[in-house]
């Protein structure tokens, strides 16, 4: 399995396992070549955000999938995990509202979860 075989359900379940809030997914493949999907979720504190990110990484690691890149882990206000076709964004609630990725990518197609 390569980084382009990531199952959305595995990521969503990993987020839900750690009680991530306001999970959404946007299909952006018709707008850009950087990814097929953005998955966006929120946490309530730095430890919560790190636990969510760690769980996503652990669940995908069980399927021999590692992130191509991970950014923001130390500060844990916005952690980005790049799995090729899927990019996971885990925000602190305040930062999510500030950066408003859903608004920036509003031309993408919302994915029913």
Ordered by start, the domain boundaries in the chain are: 3-110
DSSP letter assigned to residue 3:
G
CA dihedral in degrees (101, 105, 15, 48; nearest 10)? 0
Overall size of the chain counted in residues: 113
What gap in Å lies between CA 50 and CA 76, rounded to an integer?
Answer: 6
| pLDDT, tens only, 56-102 | 999 999 999 999 999 999 999 999 999 999 999 999 999 999 999 99
Percentage, residues of the chain above pLDDT 90: 92
pLDDT of residue 69: 97
Which pTM was predicted?
0.93
CATH fit for domain 3-110, picks 3.20.20.210, 3.40.50.150, 3.30.460.10, 3.40.50.300 = 3.30.460.10
Cα angle value 64/113/38 (rounded, 5°): 60
Which of 58, 52, 86 lies closest to 72, judged by CA?
Answer: 52
């Amino acid at each position: 399995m390569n980084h382009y075989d990531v199952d959305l359900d595995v990521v969503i379940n990993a987020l839900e396992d750690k009680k991530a809030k306001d999970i959404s997914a946007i299909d952006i493949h018709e707008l850009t070549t950087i990814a097929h999907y953005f998955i966006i979720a929120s946490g309530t504190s730095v430890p919560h955000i790190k636990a969510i990110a760690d769980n996503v990484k652990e669940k995908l690691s069980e399927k021999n999938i590692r992130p191509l890149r991970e950014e923001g882990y130390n500060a844990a206000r916005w952690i980005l995990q790049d799995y090729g076709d899927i990019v996971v964004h885990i925000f602190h609630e305040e930062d999510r509202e500030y950066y408003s990725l859903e608004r920036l990518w509003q031309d993408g197609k919302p994915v029913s979860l």
